[in-house]
Amino acid sequence: MENLQYLAMIQAYTGIGIGLMIGLGAAGACIGVGVMCSRFLEGAARQPEMIPTLQGKVFLLLGLTDASFIIAVGLAMLFAFGNPLLAVIQ
């Protein structure tokens, strides 16, 4: 009976951790993309001749920002479907 309680606790805490990873990761990526794109538009309005160089850097950083969120989703799926912490109980 005690192992069943440990198993339930691990699954519950894993679910909370997954929610935090995906939720905070999405919020951070969205805020970061919003701030970066607003700064790009400000810079483009100030110096229109710099648009091509700024645009390349913005697209590169957009990809990196979204990649960090996708990596967090991948780790969350690892813990959701193949939880390595459950092997400790059994």
Give, for 90, the enclosing helix (H) or strand (E). Answer: none
% of the chain surpassing 90 pLDDT: 74
The residues annotated as belonging to the active site are: 66
Asked whether the predicted pLDDT for residue 35 surpasses 90, the reply is yes
pLDDT per residue as tens digits for the range 45-69: 999 999 999 999 999 999 999 999 9
Q: What does pTM read for this prediction?
A: 0.78
Q: Which domains are seen in the chain, by residue range? A: 1-89 (1.20.20.10)
How far apart (Å, rounded) are the C-alpha atoms in residues 84 and 90? 11
How far apart (Å, rounded) are the C-alpha atoms in residues 16 and 73? 14
pLDDT per residue as tens digits for the range 11-22: 999 999 999 999
